[in-house]
Amino acid sequence: MSNTDELKKIKDEVLDIQGDLADLRRKEKYFPVIGEGSHEAKIMFVGEAPGEKEALSGRPFVGRSGQFLNELLEGVGIKREDVYITNIVKDRPPKNRDPKPEEIELYAPFLDRQIEIMKPKVIATLGRFSMQYIMNRYGLSFETSPISALHGKVFETEISGEKVKVVPLYHPAVALYNPGSKDELRTDFKILKSLI
């Protein structure tokens, strides 16, 4: 079965999932945000959860932070369509609040399967929730420190016998509230480019 077929199965399962966020999605006529990009991507970006613009379109990172993500990718010569962008939580938490631990627990197995199917060489986490989840899930919990200490560093792990590099990054939304972090993100993205 192709990666596309396997990922379609995940989408179908997310559409049928039960829970508060899925109930809200159905009530508000939102879409789940499964992921977007190349199904053979070497780099997978993992955010936390979709915002309202994402839930209205069914696409990840399409709001202001998504525009900045596009700018960061262009700045290092990486095409958005060549990477894969997803979130841990596939449905929008109300009022863009942080995802709750039980929501991460419910949706994370879908992310785990996306990683298993696609076998990216690099997983770039966007924000502290995805950093903590990926680091803990893939044997790097001994490294867990605040994102301010870990952003832009490269960690190696193995997933299903394949070497994978994990790069924690600030969430692009940080730059919208703290313009000084834009340069840090630009520097960190240069590290990503060097890994592929």
Give the tens place of pLDDT for each residue, 23-80. Answer: 999 999 999 999 999 999 999 999 999 999 999 999 999 999 999 999 999 999 999 9
The conformational region for residue 97 under phi > 0 = left, psi -120 to 50 = alpha, else beta, is: beta
* Contact call for residues 122 and 42 (beta carbons, < 8 A): yes
Provide the pLDDT for residue 53: 94
Q: Which whole number is the average pLDDT over 2-24? A: 95
Which pTM does this prediction carry? 0.96
Report the mean per-residue pLDDT for the chain: 94
* Contact call for residues 154 and 165 (beta carbons, < 8 A): yes
Domain ranges of the chain: 3-28+37-194
For residue 129, give the H/E element and its range: helix 128-137
Residue type, 160: S
User: Cα separation of 170 and 81, whole Å?
Assistant: 21
Superfamily of domain 3-28+37-194: Uracil-DNA glycosylase-like domain (3.40.470.10)
Residue whose entry in the numeric block shows the structure tokens 């060549």: 82
* Contact call for residues 110 and 90 (beta carbons, < 8 A): yes
Q: pLDDT higher for 112 or 96? A: 112
**Model confidence at 179: pLDDT above 90:** no
**Coil/strand/helix, residue 166:** strand
